[in-house]
Every structure is written in structure tokens, then in C-alpha cells.
Amino acid sequence: MSAETLLSQLDKVRQTGPGRWVACCPAHEDRRASLTVRELDDGRTLAHCFAGCTVHEVVSAAGLSLSDLFPEKPAGEANYIKGERRPFPAADVLRCIAFEALVVLTAGAALLGGQPFTEADRARLVLAVGRIQAALNAGGMTHG
């Protein structure tokens, strides 16, 4: 399979570079593109939802299976495939977390302005921070 098979099942697909796209995740109600897709030189397709959906949930919601993300192997070829150290480019990671950074900024400005901070506001801020951390991890970046 090529990435095109997965991409044909997604909404708001936008190419961000050679072999790289962002799209709305089919596994949750996605208003902004939170799913990144990357096609590797060896034909494998990587997908990551920065909202937290698993790859299993993503491909299932797209009507596909995990095996659809991998090219067919010629008979007798070894099963070992070297892992990707940083499977998603930093630019794609940053695009996917831009909205979450705005959530954090808005919450900080509200708190500094003395506005009341509800439990729902707190929960959304915690979610934004978690999504940002997940994006850093997916991009192969850690803080510390």
C-alpha cells in the first residue's frame, strides 16, 4: 500500500512536504488537522494523531487495517525493518501543536487577568499540555 490509500479515506488532507501530509483524524471529531501521515522510502506509511488516538483507531476508522500501512514483502525477504529515530519532522510536529499552544496562552492570559478559571478550563489546559508532550515524544524530542 502507498500512503495514498490511507489519504484517500481522510478529510482536509494537505501535503506539508515530500511524502508528508496532515489531515483530520477519522477516529475522533477533528476540526483541525491533528493527524500526520508520512510515507517512508521503503513504502511503509506512518500515522500519528496528536489528539491521542492510537494508530489502530485511526486505520480502523478509515476502514483499513494495520497491514495496509506496509508494502507487500517479496517472497523470502527478511521481516526486520529498521525503526525510525524521528519518524515525524519537527515542522509537522509544530504545525499539529500550534492550536494547543494557543490554548495554553489563552489560559495564562486569563489567569493573569484575574478571570475565573473553571474546572472545565483546567481540564482543557491539562489536555493541551498532554498533547504538546505527546507531540514532542512523537517527534523524537524530549525536554529536560
pLDDT along the chain (144 residues), means of 10: 86 92 92 90 88 89 87 60 60 77 90 89 87 75 57
Beta bridge partners of 36: 22, 48
What's the pLDDT score for residue 50? 87
Q: What three-state secondary structure class fits 143?
A: coil
Q: What is the pLDDT of residues 89-131, one digit of tens each?
A: 667 777 777 888 888 999 989 889 999 889 988 888 888 888 8
What's the pLDDT score for residue 142? 61
Nearest-5° Cα angle at 98, 97 to 101:
90
* Burial annotation 107-118 (CB, 10 A radius, 16+ → b, else e): beeeeeeeeeee
What's the pLDDT score for residue 14? 93
Determine the distance from the C-alpha atom of residue 17 to the mean position of all C-alpha atoms in its chain, rounded to a whole number: 15
Contact assessment for residue 134 and residue 128, using Cβ atoms and an 8 Å cutoff = no
Domain ranges of the chain: 3-69, 90-138
